[in-house]
Amino acid sequence: MCNILLFFFLRQSENSSSSIVSTMLVTQDYVAVKEDEISVVQGEVVQILASNQQNMFLVYRAANEHSPAAEGWIPGYVLGHTSSSVTPELPEGTIKKSLSWHTALRIRRKSEKRDKEGRKIENGYRKSQDSLANKVSVKLLNPNFIPDAPPEFLIPVTDVACESGDTVTLRCKICSRPRATVTWRGPDNGVRSNNGRYSTTYSETEEATLRIVMVSVEDSGVYTCVATNVAGSVTSSANLTVSASHDGNSEIWKSSFEFNYTEITELGRGRFSVTKRCDQRGSKRTVAAKYVSKKLLRREQVLQEIRLLQTLDHPNLVKLLDTYEMANSYVLVLEMADQGRFLDYVVSWGNLTEEKVALYLREILEALHYLHGWRIAHLDLKPENIVVEHASSQPVIKLTDFGDAVQLNPASSYIHPLLGSPEFSAPELVLGQPASLTSDIWSLGVVTYIVLSGASPFLDESLEETCLNICRLDFSFPEDYFQGVSLAAKDFVCLLLQSEPERRPSALACLQEQWLQPRGVINTGFVGSKHAHASPNHHTLHLDTSRLISFIERRKHQNDIRPIDTVRAFLHSRLLNNI
């Protein structure tokens, strides 16, 4: 009722002569709580400039002995009607704003009267556009003023039905002023953001999307888009129905693992799995069985790794042999690398030289070149995921553990969720920016640094400081750690450890680097070319591996699974302060 009376008083004032100003009396003190508000005192007379749907009034208060002139918003409940419209005595030189605004309104309305051919008929009477305008809930005395408007959905979210394993996009279109902020919530009412299988976008035209990759039956439920601005908040919800896939996935799981295999010993532990050495009954073939916890990973996430392994075939990648399902875990049966983990092999064999390091790196790069040809990023390249097999007289280096691997489209904006130590993670992954194929190249640069020195280039006392070192590219080559290491080897590390993903070389370009060429061969632009020529020998000085023993021991006891997301706000603030 208060708001209706105020609008009535405003209309009355507007219909009076141009020299009369719309004024109201402040009936109680008010202290500003927002930047665009002003404080007023009971008894003051203010000039009304505009109002909005929230019963807030834009007013002008002339200067007085207690305070300077001011303009801002105050709530309607502190205003009362003065006994008559008055012309306030403003100090000389004060701009009488509402006078010019009223004049503009009258000029505009006179022009509307000249176009009365478009008048509307209601109940037999002609109704002017002026009277229609009076029904607008937001009354503007300033024709240039644009009010805040709460969000509304021009196109709401719609229901989606799909099969398990599909990629789904929920979308809607919003209209708001000022531009709304958008949040997506899932069936558990938890926020869905750019993390793991979820990615969100909000375009300049206010189209909002939520993309979910590899959906499973567990993803079924109601998803809600929440749009909020200073004027209000609205929601739009839709139901996602995911049915079980009929592509034969259920047939890949066998249920008799204990009958076919005997557990021998544990080989290692990951964030979500335990890998054990097992012997196949009857044939006595040794395999590596990866037990993935059902409590920690969903079926669809395990299937994603299985599908990748089934499509890959390369001598430097560990092969998938079989899959089983047990009561508490999924089991991936993988070929066994008889020499174990890479760093364990390096330390046990000793006599490490740059030439051997280059040989090992070439095989890792061959694997990455193959993966990247399929646009697959490994995204978890670290010493524990590199194993060695002695299939012949020469060791064969292989990559394993594709639980984090993902196929990146050319315009991909996939944000990779990080857990645990970021020791080998590229800056873009640490900062929550889109992953790229060269994220693996950065990780290989860290591995190279560690093999050459036995030390980790960015590791610090805390997770926060380690991440900060990565983002600032804060590393060096201490002389006591890199004694006997060539400049060419250090240059190769620097080539891989570049902050910008696009500046890092591809796996193929790395393979053509001279430092990596076999002894007695110089690069001609063709890897493995028969036209290669003699080159200076690689350094044959033995590298110190004593620090690698400590490094391996530390990694065995490292079990931090705190999400890196928790330190991203800290990183952005620290990096911003140093710009």
pLDDT tens column, 92-132: 444 344 343 443 344 344 444 444 444 444 433 444 444 43
Query: Tokens at residue 184, please?
Result: 């997506």
User: Is 474 one of the annotated active-site residues of the chain?
Assistant: no
Sign of CA dihedral 9, 10, 16, 22: positive
Sheet-wide strand order for 261-269 = 261-269, 273-280, 286-293, 329-335, 320-325
3-state helix, strand, coil in the chain (%, to 5): 30, 25, 45
Q: What is the pLDDT of residue 564?
A: 64
Q: In this predicted structure, what is the pLDDT of residue 184?
A: 94
Q: What is the pLDDT of residues 211-242, one digit of tens each?
A: 988 787 788 899 999 999 998 999 999 999 88
Is 290 marked as binding a ligand?
yes
Q: What pLDDT does residue 8 have?
A: 44
Say what the pLDDT of residue 458 is. Answer: 95
What tens digit of pLDDT does each residue of 317-370 get? 999 999 999 989 999 999 999 888 999 999 988 889 999 999 999 999 999 999
User: What whole-number distance in Å separates Cα of residue 499 and Cα of residue 286?
Assistant: 42
Residue 562 has a pLDDT of 55
pLDDT in the model for residue 115:
46
β-pairing, 406-407 vs 376-377, is antiparallel
- pLDDT for 245 equals 63
C-alpha distance from residue 140 to each of 61, 85, 250 (Å):
18, 19, 65
Q: Give the pLDDT score at 137.
A: 42
pLDDT of residue 240: 92
Check residue 516 and give its pLDDT: 94
Tokens of 43: 């008894």
The active-site residue, picked from 380, 401, 404, 440, is 380
- Span 439-483, pLDDT tens digits: 999 999 999 999 999 999 999 888 889 999 999 999 999 999 999
Residues pairing with 152 in the sheet? 175
Give the pLDDT score at 412.
72
DSSP per-residue letters across 22-33: -EEEE-S-B---
CATH (one of 3.40.1190.20, 3.40.630.30, 2.30.30.40, 3.30.379.10) for 22-81? 2.30.30.40
> 148: buried, middle or exposed (CB in 10 Å: 19+, 13-18, 0-12)?
middle
What's the fold here for domain 257-334? Phosphorylase Kinase; domain 1 (3.30.200)
pLDDT band at 145 (very low <50, low <70, confident <90, very high): low
Pick the CATH number of 149-243 from 2.60.40.10, 3.10.150.10, 2.40.420.20, 1.20.58.410: 2.60.40.10
User: What's the pLDDT at 286?
Assistant: 93
pLDDT value at 141 more than 70: no
13 within 8 A of 86, measured Cβ to Cβ: no
The predicted-structure confidence for 503-561, as pLDDT tens digits, reads as follows 999 999 999 999 999 865 444 343 333 333 334 454 578 888 899 999 988 888 775 55
Domain range list for the chain: 22-81, 149-243, 257-334, 340-517+540-576
Radius of gyration (C-alpha) of the chain in whole angstroms: 35
* 144 or 58, which is more confident: 58
Question: Topology of domain 340-517+540-576, per CATH?
Answer: Transferase(Phosphotransferase); domain 1 (1.10.510)
Q: Is the pLDDT of residue 416 over 60?
A: yes
Report whether pLDDT(486) > 90.
yes
